[in-house]
Amino acid sequence: MVGVKNMKKYDKMLALNKEHSEEKITRAKKAIFRMMDEGEKVTVPKLMEKTGLSRGFFYKNQIVRKEIDRAMQQQVGMVDPKRYIGDMALKKKIEIMQQQMHGLEVENEKLKKENKSLKKALDRKELDMVKNL
């Protein structure tokens, strides 16, 4: 009788574990599909954050791992929107700095010419002073 009772507990425990595992798989799959629908790049760290599941779960669970691999294959070459926005901002900043640099180069050339003409005028003035001595 005790053996039968323990078997029922064991079966119940297995059923609960299976149900819990299936719920985690479903949660992970939903997160993957949601990320793909929203155009967000699927990565394990992002999935961990969204689902609360461990890194090991995503790598060890074969069902979820296949979904992640499939999603990543579909997203090959996809750029993360945040990264794209950052890249665009950096490109704009570089463009502005290049314009500023060009303006400074023009100003520098102008100042060099002005400096050269002032040196000539100073040399002439000194030459006149020497002649007047």
Tell which wins on pLDDT, 9 or 79: 9
Task: Write down the pTM of the prediction.
Answer: 0.52
Q: Which of 13-27, 50-64, 67-81, 105-119 has the lowest mean pLDDT?
A: 67-81
Which tens digit of pLDDT belongs to each residue from 52-81? 999 999 999 999 999 999 998 888 766 566
Q: Is residue 106's pLDDT more than 90?
A: yes
- Interior/surface letters 64-95, b for 16+ CB within 10 angstroms, e for the rest: beebbeebeeebeeeeeeeeeeeeeeeeeeee
Residue bearing tokens 């002073």: 129
Domain ranges across the chain? 1-78, 79-133
* 35 contacts 68 by C-beta, under 8 angstroms: no
* 53 contacts 47 by C-beta, under 8 angstroms: yes
Q: What is the arithmetic mean of pLDDT over 99-117? A: 96
d(CA 12, CA 19): 10
